[in-house]
Structure 1
């Protein structure tokens, strides 16, 4: 095997590995964030209380629905 062919194969393998690793890690993180959302209703209530607001159940649900719409919107565009 010539040296040029070996170097070319190594470079191609590195590029394929980097691209594959990027997409695998991206898919893993999207799945993880979907299963474990970064904020839930209890955390939202705590944040609103710390800001000096007494959140009603309607306010909490409204903010959560807005956040869910914002996170679901990019996924729907791709499909």
Structure 2
């Protein structure tokens, strides 16, 4: 009787751990394919903050964000 409970608990723990790692891998690949902020969104944010966005500044910010995301 105690053996079945132990096996059930171990199977549950293994399922939770496996599910966590599968979900984590899926989300990381999804975010890599679909970054949350693109150049257009960044330009709109800068304009809302009262800045005049130049293409050079947008490119610098995108590179910095991509570098931060890859760490």
Structure 2 length-normalised TM: 0.98
5+ unaligned residues in a row in structure 1: which ranges?
A: 74-79
Structure with the bigger RCO (C-alpha within 8 Å, sep 6+) is 2
| Secondary structure of 2:50's aligned partner | coil
Name the count of aligned residue pairs. Answer: 71
**Equivalent position of 2:28 in the other structure:** 30
Say whether residues 1:57 and 2:61 are aligned partners. Answer: no
Equivalent residue number for residue 66 of structure 1: 64
Corresponding residue to 2:17 among 2, 16, 19: 19
Q: Which runs of 4+ in 1 moved over 4 A?
A: none
